[in-house]
């Protein structure tokens, strides 16, 4: 059971503070696929792309970026600050997406993320060979409602 100190919220639009925080966190993630400043601005202005944020003591410690279609969601990014990992925060954000099919793709070398998705009942349905800039494959996962 997650501690009460964590507050989760689904939002359509990030305010400037939240957006800048996510831009900073994305830029720091050098070894996994990350979004640029311009991509994040564009996502924030796209009404089909929403966010889940996790706050602790007014600090943003985790987020999930997702595309919503009428019959499925696609997770674009999920991130939890280092010191708050392995507490169930990412799993909780996934569960907040609710009752639709969920799609995503992940770098085949990202074992924490692959384990996270398997633990949350996603299954592998395809692979894109050498999809990422680093030459790694992308694994496509799906969770059915």
Ligand X SMILES: CC(C)(COP(=O)(O)OP(=O)(O)OC[C@H]1O[C@@H](n2cnc3c(N)ncnc32)[C@H](O)[C@@H]1OP(=O)(O)O)[C@@H](O)C(=O)NCCC(=O)NCCS
Query: CA-to-CA distance for 128 and 107, rounded, in angstroms?
Result: 10
Neighbouring C-beta atoms of residue 98, cutoff 10 Å: 9
Give the residue, chosen from 61, 78, 138, 139, that forms a contact with ligand X under the rule CB under 6 A: 78
User: Is there binding between residue 85 and ligand X (CB under 6 A)?
Assistant: yes
Judged by beta carbon, residue 41 or residue 87, the one nearer ligand X is 87
Give the DSSP letter of residue 109: T
Which region among 6-14, 41-49, 112-120, 126-134 touches ligand X (by CB under 6 A)? 112-120
User: Is there binding between residue 109 and ligand X (CB under 6 A)?
Assistant: no
Q: How far is the CB of 57 from ligand X (least distance, A)?
A: 17
Q: How far is the CB of 107 from ligand X (least distance, A)?
A: 7
User: Is there binding between residue 43 and ligand X (CB under 6 A)?
Assistant: no
- Give the number of residues written for the chain: 145
Give the DSSP letter of residue 145: -
Q: How far is the CB of 118 from ligand X (least distance, A)?
A: 7
Query: CA-to-CA distance for 90 and 63, rounded, in angstroms?
Result: 8
Q: How far is the CB of 31 from ligand X (least distance, A)?
A: 9
Query: CA-to-CA distance for 5 and 58, rounded, in angstroms?
Result: 10
Burial (CB count <10 Å: 0-12, 13-18, 19+), residue 28: exposed
Give the residue, chosen from 48, 111, 130, 144, that forms a contact with ligand X under the rule CB under 6 A: 111
């Amino acid at each position: 059971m997650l501690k009460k100190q964590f507050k989760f919220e689904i939002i359509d639009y990030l305010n400037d503070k939240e957006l800048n925080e996510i831009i900073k966190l994305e830029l720091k993630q050098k070894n996994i696929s990350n979004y640029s400043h311009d991509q994040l601005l564009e996502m924030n202005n796209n009404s089909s792309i929403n966010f889940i944020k996790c706050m602790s003591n007014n600090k943003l410690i985790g987020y999930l970026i997702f595309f919503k279609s009428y019959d499925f969601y696609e997770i674009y990014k999920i991130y939890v600050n280092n010191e708050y990992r392995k507490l169930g925060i990412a799993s909780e954000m996934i569960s907040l997406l609710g009752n639709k099919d969920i799609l995503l793709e992940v770098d085949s070398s990202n074992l924490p993320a692959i384990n996270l998705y398997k633990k949350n009942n996603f299954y592998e349905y395809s692979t894109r060979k050498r999809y990422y800039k680093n030459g790694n494959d992308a694994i496509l996962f799906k969770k059915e409602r």
